[in-house]
């Protein structure tokens, strides 16, 4: 048994995403993330992840059209969402709504590659609508019917604002964030999704497993914790004393460290730049300045680098997105990667069933209750 947590264990062969933790490189189907973040769009990246190659103009137009046409939710799901407790965590509400979708999809149990690809399209298109509706409904606002036009990023911001046209900087910033979060090899949520898919359960069940894993604070939940920490620190002057207190309490600094990257997380490079640009644009660079000091301190004190969750927090904050939607936004993006991995798993499946090294007792003899109580007393 190694270091636990399946560290460095190769658990699947995959042609989707390559993470080189030593060189700090992230590659989707052969394309460096820096190239994609600079030149591509989220829709194009979705095509790439699902097909292993960049699309032609017409292939991209077809996929974009399918994603636009599938944004609306079944009315039964909207009605059920209106009955969710107002204080439900958005990730709980998202997990439950996605689970419900399967009951209104006649293809839910259909396992042909075509039917599974339809489900990939539907879920990728519907999750942004669910996340926006969660926020509208809990704030007592009317849900807005999604338009069958524009990018996924634009549609999400439009729905979230209750029907206002988002500005171009916000759309492109979110689009880049979605590209950066789209896939990351066998991260915890994708692995959870693949394990579920490998039982040949349906696409929705595999997605729900992935959403459940993403919710945890050691995974996608970290971005929300980062902004809470920044708000708690409040000022640049408070950063160091606050960090010292956290170290003294043996608390982890959220948004730092990574199982695979031993160097800079290449996604953080882009998000740092975006955080700075959005700060300058809004005339409030405080969050960026604080983030830089935290980053330098944690590197000096603990030797840890910022991960994707660190700068995405201040980016989303400056885009005016409610804090508890940060992890659901991660899900909006990662749905594309989960789908790619679920499809890849179905295409070449074998049940994923590892072994555990047994560390419990052996060779005990069963005893009746009276004697067990005596045993308790002796202890
Ligand atoms: N702050 C302080 N110390 C840390 C941190 C951190 N963020 N991360 C790791 N360490 C320390 C641990 O305390 C441990 O120290 P020890 O050996 O003295 O006990 C050592 O570094 C190794 O840490 P592990 O948690 O065992 O490393 P692992 O590879 O399992 O963890 C993880 C990776 C979960 C990302 C971890 O770094 C962490 O908890 N970070 C904070 C949460 C976070 O940002 N998660 C998002 C990850 S990226 C993503 O999922 C999208």
Q: Please tell me the predicted confidence (pLDDT) of residue 67.
A: 98
So what's the pLDDT on residue 286?
Answer: 94
What's the pLDDT score for residue 1?
A: 61
Rounded CA gap, 331 and 90, in Å? 11
Please tell me the class of the 15-217+324-347 domain: mainly alpha
| pLDDT value at residue 373 | 75
Contact in structure between 205 and 196 (CB atoms under 8 Å):
yes
Angle at 277 between CA 271 and CA 280, to 5 degrees: 140
Which one of 228, 257, 300, 330 would you pick to mutate in the ligand 1 pocket, going by the greatest count of ligand atoms within 8 A of its CB? 257
Residues in the chain: 379
Report the separation in Å between the CA atom of 262 and the middle of ligand 1, taken as the mean of its atom positions: 12
Q: Which atom of ligand 1 is nearest to the CA of 184?
A: 51
Q: CB of 227 within 8 A of CB of 314?
A: yes
Q: Is 258 in the pocket of ligand 1 (CB under 6 A)?
A: yes
- The per-residue pLDDT for 374 is 66
SS3 of 26, please? strand
Is 181 one of the annotated active-site residues of the chain? no
**Domain range list for the chain:** 15-217+324-347, 222-318
Q: What is the pTM of this model?
A: 0.95
Centre of ligand 1 to C-alpha 299, Å, is: 13
The residues, any chain, with a CB within 8 Å of residue 269's CB and separated by 6 or more, are: 34
Mean pLDDT by runs of 10 across the 379 residues of the chain is 85 97 97 98 98 98 98 98 97 98 98 98 98 98 98 98 96 98 98 98 98 95 94 95 96 96 95 96 93 97 96 95 97 98 98 96 95 70
Tokens representing 378? 């002796």
Separation between Cα atoms, residue 9 and residue 194, nearest integer Å: 15
Does residue 252's CB lie within 6 angstroms of at least one atom of ligand 1? Answer: yes
Which residue's alpha carbon is nearest to atom 21 within ligand 1?
257
Distance from residue 282's CA to the centre of ligand 1 (Å): 32
Whole-angstrom distance, CA of residue 251 vs CA of residue 246: 5
222-318, what's its fold? Cytochrome p450-Terp; domain 2 (1.10.230)
Report the pLDDT value the prediction gives residue 316, as an integer from 0 to 100.
96
Rounded to whole angstroms, how far apart are CA atoms 8 and 103? 38
Q: How many CA atoms lie within 13 A of 294 on its CB side?
A: 32
Report the pLDDT value the prediction gives residue 297, as an integer from 0 to 100.
96
Whether residue 309 lies in the annotated active site: yes
Distance CA(224)–CA(310), nearest Å, equals 9
- Among residues 183, 202, 265, 309, which one is catalytic? 309
Environment class of 240 (CB within 10 Å of its CB; exposed 0-12, middle 13-18, buried 19+): middle
Residue 2: the pLDDT is 67
């Amino acid at each position: 048994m190694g270091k636990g947590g399946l560290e460095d264990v190769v658990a699947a062969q995959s042609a989707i995403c390559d993470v080189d933790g030593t060189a700090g490189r992230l590659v989707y189907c052969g394309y460096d993330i820096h190239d994609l973040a600079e030149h591509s769009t989220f829709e194009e990246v979705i095509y790439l992840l699902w097909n292993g190659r960049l699309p032609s103009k017409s292939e991209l137009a077809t996929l974009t059209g399918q994603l636009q046409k599938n944004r609306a939710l079944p009315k039964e799901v909207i009605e059920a969402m209106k009955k969710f407790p107002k204080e439900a965590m958005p990730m709980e509400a998202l997990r439950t709504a996605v689970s419900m979708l399967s009951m209104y999809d006649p293809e839910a149990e259909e396992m042909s590659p075509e039917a599974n690809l339809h489900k990939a399209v539907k879920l990728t298109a519907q999750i942004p609508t669910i996340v926006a509706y969660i926020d509208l409904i809990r704030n007592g606002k009317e849900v807005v019917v999604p338009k069958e036009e524009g990018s996924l990023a634009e549609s999400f911001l439009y729905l979230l604002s209750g029907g206002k046209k988002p500005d171009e900087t916000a759309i492109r910033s979110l689009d880049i964030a979605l590209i950066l979060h789209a896939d990351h090899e066998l991260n915890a949520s994708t692995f959870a999704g693949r394990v579920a898919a490998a039982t040949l359960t349906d696409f929705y069940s595999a997605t729900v497993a992935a959403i459940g894993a993403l919710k945890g604070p050691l995974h996608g939940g970290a971005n929300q914790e980062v902004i809470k920490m920044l708000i708690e620190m409040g000022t640049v002057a408070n950063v160091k004393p606050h960090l010292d207190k956290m170290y003294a309490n043996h608390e982890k600094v959220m948004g730092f460290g990574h199982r695979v990257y031993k160097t800079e997380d290449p996604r953080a490079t882009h998000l740092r730049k975006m955080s700075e640009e959005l700060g300058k644009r809004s005339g409030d660079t405080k969050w960026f300045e604080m983030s830089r000091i935290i980053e330098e301190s944690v590197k000096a004190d603990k030797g840890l680098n910022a991960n994707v969750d660190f700068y995405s927090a201040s980016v989303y904050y400056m885009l005016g997105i409610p804090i508890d939607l940060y992890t659901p936004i991660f899900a909006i993006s990662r749905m594309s990667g989960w789908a790619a991995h679920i499809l890849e798993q179905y295409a070449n499946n074998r049940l994923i069933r590892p072994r555990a090294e047994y560390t419990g007792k052996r060779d005990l003899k069963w005893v009746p209750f009276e004697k067990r109580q005596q045993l308790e007393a002796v202890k």
